[in-house]
């Protein structure tokens, strides 16, 4: 569909001199914080996996492309979250910065004694992916968008004012919908007084219970 343009961009990676940690590092030994411009690639499908990553600030999308350009975003990651597990030697997905962001990289291989520490973190990703399977596999478009908004709200501390780091296209590719459908549903929610849209990237949730009622 699109989204290939990002790969044409230069991979702007410059080490961040001295980042103040906004997320607690996992106990994985030495690491390095890298700054990524929006849209820059963190790793690509097929690449040898060299690290695990933790978002310091900003947001990241992990996705796969089909031959004809269809894209499925399997996960968004925000501050504190760890990603890059999807490898056994080789990355099976692409990871890109959604917005400007800082990423802590823990070089692989991790020592066996650190495995116990990251296992629960990996399982979190697994549970998230499986939850998302339910959303995509069995929920209607309305339900998917409602679930998405509540998830974003929860990940921003539960405040009613939710800042979306990602475009409608990203949201669609995450929810298995088209950008038109996402847009229409947000408009409908707005019209029903469930949300306000101060601007395209900000959603204010006015009637959270109405969203919850939609989620299943």
- Closest to its own copies by CB, 165 vs 175, is 175
Is the Cβ–Cβ distance between 125 and 85 less than 8 Å? yes
Stretch that binds DNA, among 44-52, 96-104, 116-124, 164-172 (CB under 7 A): 164-172
Tell me the Cα Rg of the chain.
18
CA 63 – CA 75 distance, rounded (Å): 7
Site for DNA in 196-215 (CB under 7 A): 197, 199-201
Question: Which of the choices its own copies, DNA, none does residue 44 contact, using the CB cut-off of 5 to 8 A by kind?
Answer: none
Binding site for DNA (CB under 7 A): 140-142, 167-169, 176-184, 186-187, 197, 199-201
Binding site for its own copies (CB under 8 A): 62, 64, 66-68, 70-72, 74-75, 85-88, 92-93, 112-113, 115-116, 118-120, 122-127, 129-134, 136-139, 173, 175-176, 216
């Amino acid at each position: 569909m699109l989204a290939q343009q990002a790969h044409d961009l230069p991979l702007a990676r410059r080490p961040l001199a001295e980042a103040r940690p906004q997320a607690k590092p996992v106990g994985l030994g030495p690491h390095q914080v890298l700054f990524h411009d929006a849209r820059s690639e963190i790793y690509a499908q097929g690449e040898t996996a060299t690290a695990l990553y933790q978002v310091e600030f900003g947001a990241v999308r992990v996705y796969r492309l089909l031959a004809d350009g269809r894209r499925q975003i399997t996960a968004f990651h925000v501050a504190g979250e760890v990603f890059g597990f999807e490898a056994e030697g080789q990355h099976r997905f692409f990871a890109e910065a959604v917005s400007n962001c800082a990423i802590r990289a823990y070089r692989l291989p991790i020592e066996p004694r650190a495995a116990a520490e990251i296992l629960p973190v990996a399982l979190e990703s697994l549970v998230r992916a499986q939850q998302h399977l339910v959303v995509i596999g069995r929920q209607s478009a309305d339900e998917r968008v409602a679930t998405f908004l509540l998830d974003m709200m929860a990940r921003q501390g539960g405040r009613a004012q939710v800042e979306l780091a990602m475009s409608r296209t990203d949201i669609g590719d995450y929810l298995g919908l088209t950008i038109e459908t996402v847009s229409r549903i947000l408009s409908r929610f707005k019209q029903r007084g469930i949300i306000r849209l101060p601007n395209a990237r900000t959603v204010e949730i006015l009637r959270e219970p109405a969203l919850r009622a939609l989620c299943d």
